[in-house]
Amino acid sequence: MSATPPTRHHVLSVLVENKAGVLSRVAGLFSRRGFNIYSLAVAPTDEDERFSRITIVVDVESAPLEQVVQQLDKLVNVVAISQLAPADAVQRELLIATVEAQPAERSQVIQLVGVFGGEVVDVGSVSLTVTLAGRPEKIDHFEGLLEGYRVVELQRTGRVALPKLDRRPAGDRHTAPELRTIAGTAG
Amino acid sequence: MEPKKTLTGAQALIKSLEMQRVEVMFGLPGGAILPVYDPILDSSIRHILVRHEQGAGHMAEGYAMVTGRPGVAMVTSGPGATNIVTPLSNAYMDSTPLVVISGQVATGSIGTDAFQECDITGVTMGITKHNWLVTQAADIPKVVAAAFHVATTGRPGPVLIDVPKDVANATMEWSWPESVDDLDLPGYHPVTEGDPAEVRRAAELLLAAERPVLYVGGGVLKARAGEALLALAERTGIPVVTTLMARGAFPDSHPQCLGMPGMHGNFTAVTAMQRCDLLVSLGARFDDRVTGKVDTFAPGAKVVHVDIDPAELGKVRTPDVGIAGDCRLVIEELLEALGALGLGSDGNRAAERVDLGPWWDQLRHWQEEFPLFYEVAPDGGPIKPQMVVEALRDLSPTDTIVASGVGQHQMWASQYWRFDHPYTWVNSGGAGTMGFAVPAAIGAKVGRPDRTVWAIDGDGCFQMTAQELATATAERVPVKIAILNNAYLGMVRQWQEMFYGERYSEVYLSPDLPDYVKWAEAMGCVGIRAETSDEVAPAIEKANGIDDRPVVVDFRTDAFEKVFPMVPAGASNDAIVVHPEQEQKSR
């Protein structure tokens, strides 16, 4: 998860019914059809509790995007699918990491976090836990710089995305109900 | 508006099936589904008690395939439910509408490894069009209505409703959904009509093609598009191939019918597809058994692909024109578009229309050179299985329904029967489920009691599901079973002979273990044996004369007979192997 995803990764924003087993249906479809998921994030949508939004970053080398979309669309619980080309989408991701930093290095790490607009959320005697939310490329860059220190643990959420305003996504399937997505993991 | 009525979930379930005009269901009770079996005693629905749940599933499939109505089966939780997994998978592969109801342990016990608990919605997620675990009795009518809607619309397929025992026992206020809009299916929007611009492009390609072929699949039968197809074929003069799933969608005796393509298709059908310049696929899915090696399939052809499932367009072969829509509606649109382009309903060709004469000359030449062929048995020699199929065909009514299992007998049945009526061929195509024939034939006969129903089965297949003949006897369903008994798992034997250096591994079954005649008699059937060619016709005539009980005929056939032509697995269709006797001509 460290390198910037090349263009073979496409983002699908999938509006699904908020019913038991839906995530399993989506994940099962990907595994049985041999489609690769790069990352996946799920959160309920605001206002209408009937729906959740799954943001899937798909490896389109494993299967043509059109085939992935068409197969997903056959799932009865899938209500709408938006294909988000990187240029047409606002994307965000959250990173959380524990970095070993002896007192002498601590200020360097804190400075780095400050430069990126992240946050130090926990401080121990010899380590720090930091978070950063932002564009995936920014997260990649930050993660790369953290590798200069000893990273004890690192987690990324996978991306969430929405279409840029006043632009129609390239391949919109069905008209999605007017829903605002809660930023489940990153703002 | 009915007055409010309080029912149990179980009563609501049966009443919901009645609302769906279900006339018959196939099943076997057990602990978790017990509450639902009680109201069956008061219902108009005929319940057929099977001997194994797999039988219930295949019977429901056979019923659905010949009637066009969804088949319904009911089983208990755990092993009852897992026993019907194979029929669900089979129906999913062949797009057969099926509604399976399974019992489940009480909601409070789910997840505790309770007795006969199985996560059947999880198990069947990938082999159903959709499935439901009902958690409240009040949801039952809506879920049943949604299940029938999903199973029968768009690309048909199987669905499963899992009903926990406490939900069946709980009470609810009866309320039936008024319309599809009440079904809570916000993500389900099957396509119907084709895009007019694409249809027009398809019509233009049809008129411009020099060597077109109509590649007809099971979707034409599902869409009940046989008449529309006949009109399209006759107006355009284009030859038709019917896949294994589409036998009968276009009459075999029609002069434009080339028969079945694919791994065991006839030479002309296979080669017409290889050499065509336009392939018009109607409700077919470019299955590997039809295409052979995909990158060498129909190399010079432009492709028009019509399918109700948009995901099929471009799944295997990228079409030049892809039309998502119901086959009947799209063919009708296509006929209109052809009319607008000057190809009238009287068959008058548009002035600029290409002459198909040379193409037909070529096709007729292939048909003469490479007809289906087998060597007639010498006097006293073993019975040729193909000859049995021909005799069955010639001695039975033309609208006889033929069911088959999977293997050599299936291919011979498809090759040598003459399918002149739609919905007369019941077989397992995509899944290749051995043992399909006996229960599917029973389901077909339940759905069409007016028709003669013959199962053409293999000895290997027969042994997998034969117990359902006890069901057939008990329920007075007089099906007829022809076992082409070659004492082998014949198709596997054929592959071992041709591709594994005649090393026969675990394929021998014995001709008389079990004794099929005694076994048939033990199940209340008439058992007949035919051991020589001259016994074939009398055995069939005797069987056709019996209409008060099932009949099993044990035909002792030639174990060395192979299915030809054959395209070896993974090879190009150009590498078609014809019968050795025809070999010279093909080179």
What number of other Cβ atoms are within 10 A of residue A98's Cβ?
Answer: 18
Taking chain B (587 residues) in runs of 10, the rounded mean pLDDT of each run is: 85 98 98 98 98 98 98 98 98 98 98 98 98 98 98 98 98 96 94 95 97 98 98 97 98 98 98 98 98 97 98 97 98 96 69 85 98 92 96 98 98 98 98 98 98 98 98 98 98 97 98 98 98 97 98 98 96 96 77
Q: Is B111 on the interface with A (CB under 8 A)?
A: no
**Contact state of A21 with B122 under an 8 Å Cβ cutoff:** yes
- Separation of first and last alpha carbons in chain A: 20
The answer to whether residues A14 and A85 belong to one domain is: yes
Q: Is A45 on the interface with B (CB under 8 A)?
A: no
Distance from chain centroid for Cα B410: 12
The answer to whether residues A85 and A96 belong to one domain is: no
Q: Is A64 on the interface with B (CB under 8 A)?
A: yes
Phi-psi group of A28: left, alpha or beta (phi > 0 → left; psi -120 to 50 → alpha; rest → beta): alpha
The answer to whether residues A84 and A101 belong to one domain is: no
Chain B residues within an 8 Å CB radius of A32: 126
| Buried b or exposed e, range B44-82, using 16+ CB within 10 angstroms | eeebbebbbbbbbbbbbbbbbbbbbbbbbbbbbbbebbb
Residue A4 confidence (pLDDT) above 70: no
Chain B residues within an 8 Å CB radius of A18: none
What domain range is A50 assigned to? 9-89+162-173
Chain B residues within an 8 Å CB radius of A174: 189
Question: Which residue in chain A has the smallest CA separation from B124?
Answer: A25
Chain A residues within an 8 Å CB radius of B187: 16-17, 75-80
What integer pLDDT is reported at residue B58 of this predicted model?
98
What contacts 24+ positions apart, CB below 8 Å, involve B489-496?
B489/B407, B489/B458, B489/B460, B490/B407, B490/B408, B490/B409, B490/B458, B490/B460, B490/B559, B490/B561, B491/B406, B491/B407, B491/B408, B491/B411, B491/B563, B492/B407, B493/B559, B494/B408, B494/B562, B494/B563
Paired strand residues for B58: none
**Contact state of B310 with A70 under an 8 Å Cβ cutoff:** yes
Numbers of helices and strands, H then E, in chain B: 24, 20
The answer to whether residues A58 and A97 belong to one domain is: no
Q: Is B187 on the interface with A (CB under 8 A)?
A: yes
Q: How far apart are CA B247 and CA B263, in angstroms?
A: 15
**Contact state of B314 with A67 under an 8 Å Cβ cutoff:** yes
Q: Looking at residue B309, what DSSP letter applies?
A: S
Interface probe with A: pick from B95, B107, B130, B312, most Cβ of A within 10 Å: B130
Q: How far apart are CA A38 and CA A79, in angstroms?
A: 22
Q: How far apart are CA B307 and CA B452, in angstroms?
A: 32
Inside any domain, residue A16: yes
What integer pLDDT is reported at residue A46 of this predicted model?
74
**Contact state of A50 with B121 under an 8 Å Cβ cutoff:** no
Q: How far apart are CA B99 and CA B110, in angstroms?
A: 22
**Contact state of B125 with A20 under an 8 Å Cβ cutoff:** no
Number of domains in chain A: 2
Question: Which residue in chain B has the smallest CA separation from A51?
Answer: B186
* Residue indicated by tokens 């010079």: B300
For residues B373 and B416, the answer to whether their CB atoms sit within 8 Å is no
- DSSP per residue, chain A: --SPP-TTEEEEEEEEE--TTHHHHHHHHHHHHTPEEEEEEEEEBSS-TTEEEEEEEEETTTS-HHHHHHHHHHSTTEEEEEEE-GGGEEEEEEEEEEEE--HHHHHHHHHHHHHHT-EEEEE-SSEEEEEEEE-HHHHHHHHHHHTTSEEEEEEE---EEEEPTT---SEEESPPPS-PBP-SS--
| Buried b or exposed e, range A145-154, using 16+ CB within 10 angstroms | ebeebeeeeb
What integer pLDDT is reported at residue B232 of this predicted model?
97
Give how far B158 is from chain A: nearest CA, Å: 13
Q: Is B185 on the interface with A (CB under 8 A)?
A: yes
Question: Which residue in chain A has the smallest CA separation from B310?
Answer: A70
Question: Which residue in chain B has the smallest CA separation from A71?
Answer: B311
CA nearest to B81, candidates B131, B25, B120, B32: B120
The answer to whether residues A108 and A126 belong to one domain is: yes
Inside any domain, residue A182: no
**Contact state of A50 with B310 under an 8 Å Cβ cutoff:** no
Inside any domain, residue A142: yes
Q: How many CB pairs under 8 A join A and B?
A: 45
For residues B13 and B140, the answer to whether their CB atoms sit within 8 Å is yes
CATH of residue A19's domain is 3.30.70.260
Q: Say which of B125, B129, B313 has its CB closest to residue A28.
A: B125
Tens-place pLDDT, residues A117-134: 999 999 999 999 999 999
Q: Is A76 on the interface with B (CB under 8 A)?
A: yes
Pairing relationship of beta strands A78-84 and A171-173 according to DSSP bridges: antiparallel
- Separation of first and last alpha carbons in chain B: 74
The answer to whether residues A75 and A104 belong to one domain is: no
What is the CA angle B46-B51-B52, rounded to 5? 105
**Contact state of B311 with A71 under an 8 Å Cβ cutoff:** yes
CATH of residue A109's domain is 3.30.70.1150
What is the CA angle A83-B151-B431, rounded to 5? 85
Inside any domain, residue A140: yes
Q: Say which of A17, A67, A174 has its CB closest to residue B189.
A: A174
Inside any domain, residue A2: no
Give how far A107 is from chain B: nearest CA, Å: 50
* Residue indicated by tokens 């005694």: B518
Q: Looking at residue B315, what DSSP letter applies?
A: T
**Alpha-carbon distance values, A12 to A21, A89, A173 (Å):** 19, 10, 11
What number of other Cβ atoms are within 10 A of residue B394's Cβ?
Answer: 11
The answer to whether residues A82 and A169 belong to one domain is: yes
**Contact state of A76 with B129 under an 8 Å Cβ cutoff:** yes
Q: Is A172 on the interface with B (CB under 8 A)?
A: no
Chain A residues within an 8 Å CB radius of B122: 21, 24
CA nearest to B356, candidates B215, B213, B250: B213
Inside any domain, residue A97: yes
Q: Which two tokens stand for residue B454?
A: 């013959």
H helices present in B417-506, as ranges: 437-447, 459-465, 468-474, 490-499
The answer to whether residues A99 and A136 belong to one domain is: yes
Give how far B35 is from chain A: nearest CA, Å: 25
Q: Is B365 on the interface with A (CB under 8 A)?
A: no
pLDDT interval class at A185 (50, 70, 90): very low
Q: How far apart are CA B233 and CA A156, in angstroms?
A: 58
Interface of A with B in 98-157 (CB under 8 A): none
**Contact state of B125 with A79 under an 8 Å Cβ cutoff:** no
Sign of CA pseudo-dihedral B472, B473, B474, B478:
positive
What is this model's ipTM? 0.92
Q: Which two tokens stand for residue B510?
A: 């014995």
The answer to whether residues A17 and A108 belong to one domain is: no
**Contact state of A79 with B130 under an 8 Å Cβ cutoff:** no
Inside any domain, residue A185: no
H helices present in B267-326, as ranges: 267-275, 288-291
**Contact state of A21 with B133 under an 8 Å Cβ cutoff:** yes
Chain A residues within an 8 Å CB radius of B315: 67
Q: How far apart are CA B271 and CA B551, in angstroms?
A: 39
**Contact state of A28 with B126 under an 8 Å Cβ cutoff:** yes
Q: Which domains are assigned to chain B?
A: 6-183 (3.40.50.970), 196-369 (3.40.50.1220), 385-563 (3.40.50.970)
Q: Which two tokens stand for residue B75?
A: 């089983």
Q: If DSSP states are collapsed to H, E and C, what string results for B344-393?
A: CCCCCCCCCCCCCHHHHHHHHHHHHHCCCCCCCCCCCCCECHHHHHHHHH
Q: Is A67 on the interface with B (CB under 8 A)?
A: yes
The answer to whether residues A45 and A73 belong to one domain is: yes
What integer pLDDT is reported at residue B1 of this predicted model?
55
Residue A182 confidence (pLDDT) above 50: no
Chain B residues within an 8 Å CB radius of A24: 122, 125
For residues A174 and B191, the answer to whether their CB atoms sit within 8 Å is no
Q: How far apart are CA B101 and CA B71, in angstroms?
A: 11
Inside any domain, residue A110: yes
Q: Measure the CA dihedral B84/B90/B96/B102, to 10°.
A: 10
The answer to whether residues A62 and A22 belong to one domain is: yes
Q: Is B310 on the interface with A (CB under 8 A)?
A: yes
Q: If DSSP states are collapsed to H, E and C, what string results for B162-220?
A: EEEHHHHHCEEECCCCCCHHHHCCCCCCCCCCCCHHHHHHHHHHHHHCCCEEEEECHHH
Distance from chain centroid for Cα B193: 24
- DSSP per residue, B326-349: -HHHHHHHHHHHHHHTT--TT-PP
Please return the burial class of B287, using the count of CB atoms within 10 Å of its CB with bins 0-12, 13-18 and 19+: middle
Tens-place pLDDT, residues A62-84: 788 999 999 999 999 999 998 88
* Residues of B taking part in catalysis: 53, 115-116, 165, 491
* Residue indicated by tokens 């006889």: B400
**Contact state of B126 with A32 under an 8 Å Cβ cutoff:** yes
What integer pLDDT is reported at residue A7 of this predicted model?
66
Cβ neighbours of residue B364 closer than 8 Å, sequence gap 6 or more: none
For residues B69 and B44, the answer to whether their CB atoms sit within 8 Å is no
For residues B28 and B6, the answer to whether their CB atoms sit within 8 Å is no
Residue with more model confidence, B159 or A162: B159
CA nearest to B423, candidates B405, B440, B407: B440
Q: Which two tokens stand for residue B322?
A: 């892809």
Q: How far apart are CA A88 and CA A91, in angstroms?
A: 10
Phi-psi group of B358: left, alpha or beta (phi > 0 → left; psi -120 to 50 → alpha; rest → beta): alpha
Q: Is A50 on the interface with B (CB under 8 A)?
A: yes
Question: Phi then psi for B273, rounded to 5 degrees?
Answer: -65, -40
Cβ neighbours of residue B328 closer than 8 Å, sequence gap 6 or more: B223, B224, B225, B228
Question: Phi then psi for B472, rounded to 5 degrees?
Answer: -60, -40
Give how far B108 is from chain A: nearest CA, Å: 16
Residue A181 confidence (pLDDT) above 50: no
Q: Measure the CA dihedral A109/A110/A116/A117, to 10°.
A: 160
Q: How far apart are CA B384 and CA B562, in angstroms?
A: 10
What integer pLDDT is reported at residue B584 of this predicted model?
78
Paired strand residues for A155: A96
Q: Which two tokens stand for residue B213?
A: 């072929």
The answer to whether residues A82 and A95 belong to one domain is: no
